[in-house]
Structure 1
């Protein structure tokens, strides 16, 4: 499959405009759906804590600088979020084995349990929302969203 990076044809511009609109709506509706969902499972973690715990669960312990870089956030923002998460017992700080002066952050069992509860609730929610979609359509959506996220991540790294 060839990739047309476009020369700015009217069709290309219209398609890119549709993509921009749909992504904007996806972000707005996703957040509105999360806030409006009646189950407490969705509210046991705020969005920032959920994203941090998901990343730490998959990537392993990290220092604040690495975490901030990965999440494309300012270090002071991550430090505040991590401090709040530590107060709530969601993460633990331990000495950095590579640099004894620093610390690394890792999820606690309580943090992982709360993250798993939110993830399960979100998975059920999307199962309900996409109940009328075929398995192939769900797979295609997952693949395309993954490709979009990879492209966004690559763009972030190249800047």
Structure 2
């Protein structure tokens, strides 16, 4: 018999495992943010987190209107509008008339925005390369696959709410 009373049933085992996942995700978010703030290189600081996420999405998906961007990032439209205004003020995005709706605009990254995003991305990639350098390649690949699945599950859940 196990010393852990929750491991005596399948449901109990699942509850313990889900509790461990919750703890690890909470720690991941906390340590990830602490690592970003504590990293000494300027490359990590050329964009705030919101700007980085918006620019990464625009780079991957192409020009978007604020509504589509807000829906994709699961944010309120007014929040995205404020973030986009700051990005435009900093010369990181441009607004052009929406070809499908003359009343609206679409947001596109500027060359400067893409360069800054690429610098942050490269710095983060190097950081993870250093941290995970002694992990076998297969473990790194497994982590990438599982994190993607977790993000897809989170995104799917947020879309249905």
Shorter chain as denominator, the TM-score bin is: over 0.9
- CA distance in 2 between counterparts of 1:8 and 1:111 reads 50
Partner of 1:80 in structure 2?
Answer: 82
Shift in Å, 1:8: 7.1
Relative to the length of structure 2, the TM-score reads 0.93
From 65, 77, 92, the counterpart of 1:63: 65
Runs of 4+ displaced beyond 3 Å: none
The 5 Å alignment of 1:10-159 reads 10-159=12-161
TM (norm. structure 1) is 0.94
Shift in alpha-carbon separation, 1:19–1:127, aligned structure 2, 3 A: same
CA distance in 1, matches of 2:79, 2:155: 20
Backbone CA RMSD of aligned residues: 1.1
Flag structure 1 segments of 5+ consecutive residues without an equivalent. 1-6
Q: Deviations over 1:7-33 (max 9, x none)?
A: 971100000000000000000000000
Give the unaligned 5+ runs of structure 2. 1-8
Structure whose alpha-carbon radius of gyration is higher: 2
CA distance in 1: counterparts of 2:152 and 2:48, whole angstroms = 24
Partner secondary structure for residue 105 of structure 2: strand
The CA distance in 1 between the partners of 2:121 and 2:11, in whole Å, is: 41
